[in-house]
Amino acid sequence: MLKQCEGSHAVAEAVALCRPEVICAYPISPQTHIVEGLGEMCKSGELADCEFINVESEFAAMSVAIGSSAAGARTYTATASQGLLYMVEAVYNASGLGLPIVMTVANRAIGAPINIWNDHSDSLSQRDCGWIQLFAETNQEALDLHIQAFKLAEELSLPIMVCMDGFILTHAYERVDMPTQEQVDAFLPPYEPRQVLDPAEPVSIGAMVGPEAFMEVRYLAHAKQMQALERIPQMAEEFQKVFGRKIGGLTHTYCGEDAETMVVAMGSVLGTIKDVVDEMRSAGHKVGVLGITSFRPFPLDAVREALKGCKRFVILEKSLAVGIGGIVATNVRLAVTGLGLQGYTVVAGLGGRAITKKSLHALFIRAGRGELGPLTFLDLDWEVINRQLERERLTRRSGPAAESMLRDLGTVASKIA
């Protein structure tokens, strides 16, 4: 059914259609509207047979999820930013135990300085935690990916993060096609756990494993993600059969066939990039786009295939690996090893900095001309940085850098663009 609604609301409805049995929630912006929606549905009875638990921290949220999933219940939670970091120990534990928890990450920057706006630092910090990570470009994709996530997670006994851009998607009102309960039931079978805490068949879950088998147990986690690499494209096709739309898969390309410059990105910024590409195409520039939906497992072959025909590629990512450059870039560059392509890493949109069509247009033109350095920070105010570095050179007790830089800017509250 077509409807106009907030991204968070769409996700909440989609999760409810998946018949979750336990939902645990701790509030953190910009995830709040999702769990508020689900809480309301549980309380009103609209979502029956589901226990909604308000916990005291994200660490507890993931821990409750571990308990309920191990006891055989379909389990969901959502978080973002600091919340994801606060639950990290349990995040690794959930994947290590092979528990198919589904969690929305409403992507948000990580402090300090504290910042509630969108970038991908949070989930990308967890790239090695053993969870599958799927990135949504639109609200439609966000809601559909949740339905696929429950199926995939439970098939493989692996937890999945569905990542959607905080505010940009979670708080945006868009048209979505909401599936019916019948469709979701036809697609998503009831949860049959591989391991379960059951008095009729007692097992010990989570005991110590020494050096004699630890490598093998860890390798199995990798093997599972390699299986996911096979299953994710199939899942998109199975989904299409029931729901009539192609959603998911490992990657998407746009105008990629004859592109000389390929732009690689994840999440909602792909929309802006495609608009810029359309404009540049009509001006004769051969630019294309590669959107990565599955960041973990990382689709090395699909990325290589998509980029092999281009001359250069620009990785535009909302994250920064401090001390080296890009996170997505490192993965993409690995995929094209030996192809001899020119690659540019562009860090953009950190902490909600708007990524404008104008900036992207200029960026892609410069990339096409070979004028970009290997690492670019989009729309970085060099003057502010240089003045701060100078202050720090002159004064030992220069004070909190963030405050000095904002004073320097003369900014009141937040200035965007």
Partner 1 sequence: MSLQPVKFYQTGTFTVGNRLLAPEERSVQANMQRTNSLNSGHRACQGCGEALGARYAIDAAMNASNRQLIAANATGCLEVFSTPYPETSWQIPWIHSLFGNTAAVATGIAAAIKIKKQKGQGGDVRVVAQGGDGGTTDIGFGCLSGMFERNDDVLYICYDNGGYMNTGVQRSSATPPAARTATTMPLGPEPGNQFGQGKFLPAIAMAHEIPYVATATVADLRDLEYKVTHAMSIRGARYIHILVPCPLGWGTASHDTIRMARLAKETGIFPVFEAEYGVVKSALAIRRPLPVEEYLRPQKRYAHLFGKSPAVETIARIQALADKNIRKYGLQARKGA
Residue ranges in contact with partner 1 by CB under 8 A: 21-22, 24, 49-51, 53-57, 59-60, 62-73, 75, 89-90, 93, 97, 197-199, 201-210, 213
Toward partner 1, which CB reaches closer, 103 or 348?
103
Shortest distance in whole angstroms from residue 63 CB to partner 1: 3
Shortest distance in whole angstroms from residue 145 CB to partner 1: 24
Shortest distance in whole angstroms from residue 212 CB to partner 1: 10
Q: How far is 155 from 39, CA to CA, in rounded Å?
A: 27
Q: How far is 365 from 70, CA to CA, in rounded Å?
A: 52
Shortest distance in whole angstroms from residue 154 CB to partner 1: 14
Shortest distance in whole angstroms from residue 223 CB to partner 1: 19
Q: How far is 31 from 320, CA to CA, in rounded Å?
A: 22
Toward partner 1, which CB reaches closer, 197 or 255?
197
363-380 burial: b if 16+ Cβ within 10 Å, else e: bbbebbeeebeeebbbbe
Interior CA angle at 45 toward 192 and 102, to 5°?
35
Q: Which amino acid is at 152?
A: L
Bridge partners (DSSP) of residue 5 are 174
DSSP 28: -
Toward partner 1, which CB reaches closer, 16 or 265?
16
Give 102-153 as a DSSP string: EEEEEE---PSSP--S--SHHHHHTTTSS-EEEE-SSHHHHHHHHHHHHHHH
Backbone phi and psi for residue 263, each to the nearest 5 degrees, phi listed first:
-105, 125
Toward partner 1, which CB reaches closer, 57 or 414?
57
Shortest distance in whole angstroms from residue 346 CB to partner 1: 38
Toward partner 1, which CB reaches closer, 67 or 271?
67
The single residue listed with the structure tokens 């720090």 is 392
Shortest distance in whole angstroms from residue 157 CB to partner 1: 15
Toward partner 1, which CB reaches closer, 26 or 313?
26
Toward partner 1, which CB reaches closer, 39 or 309?
39
